Chain A
Amino acid sequence: MSKLSGIDIIGIESGSMSNISPQENIILRMDEKNPISDRFPYLIVTDNIRSLDSKTDLFLIDPFLGKDALKRKAKRGLGIEISISPVRKLDANLIARWLKELKSIYIFCQSNDCQFILSSGATSTNEMISARSFESILTVAGINPESYWKKMSDWLYTKTKARWQNVKS
């Protein structure tokens, strides 16, 4: 499915991966390090600002909540993720506001050396979003898609470098 969407690597919740062998195009998303993380590349993800610590790789943010708390806790290299799936249910006014907040979080990430990440938030294949569609959302929000993909690839590479070696050995 990732090939159909034009995406090289996809992130999957660790709970759904118990019977699948490690593959190079999958990164596990988990709350905390667990035994399965020895076999897979992984990212520690949280959506709770209180549990955000130095081990956290990715913070899932609600763009409609203020960034004040995040300003105090965001460390260099932290990934800040915005999910698209909840936006589908919003009306047009809120979607426009969401797009505005998307840009402001992107600017926040740039000024704080954090990695901006736009994700589908998909829970099934039907909810997955193609790479070209991601690029359209970024373009409409005023973000350069080329620089977005490049920065995200570099960030993923540095985050998972040691872990990839572990998986391959």
Chain B
Amino acid sequence: MLNHREKRRYVAIMYDASETFRPFQLYEKIGIRFKELFGIFQMQSAMLKLYDSELGNIMIVRCKLKYLDCFLVSLVLSEPPLTVISISGTLKKLRKNVSKMDFRNIKNIRS
């Protein structure tokens, strides 16, 4: 029998550094929204996990691919606003993608 490992996705999320919330608090807020909208069972099945991006106002969250849509909906409908800037199948690749972006420019953009 094959040892099947479910696919995961790592999501890089940009948050407003001027807000008072820290990444673990934002992660909790997304989790609460996920639970409210899709239920505690789906939330546990999604196997969410917070990682440190080591890059300023960006945090990384892992999610099972099967529940990625639910996770992104919860993220978009959370307060304060959060923006997904990259999604990848491996943490290493995601960190590489994010570091390739000119991060100083991301932080300084004002519309």
Q: How many A-B residue pairs have CB under 8 A?
A: 75
Note all chain B residues with C-beta closer than 8 A to A127. Answer: 81, 83
Measured in the bound complex, the distance between the Cα atoms of B77 and A16 in whole Å is 26
Q: Are A133 and B109 in contact (CB under 8 A)?
A: no
Interface size bracket, B side: 20 to 34
Q: Are B69 and A129 in contact (CB under 8 A)?
A: no
Query: Does B85 belong to the interface (CB within 8 Å)?
Result: yes
Known contacts A88-B79, A89-B79, A132-B72; decide if A124 and B110 are in contact (CB<8 Å): yes
Interface size bracket, A side: 20 to 34
A interface, by DSSP: helix, strand, loop or mixed? helix
Measured in the bound complex, the distance between the Cα atoms of B81 and A132 in whole Å is 16
Query: Does A84 belong to the interface (CB within 8 Å)?
Result: yes
Closest A residue, CB atoms, query B36: A92
Residues of B within 8 A of A (CB): 14-16, 33, 36-37, 68-70, 72-73, 75-85, 87, 101, 106, 109-111
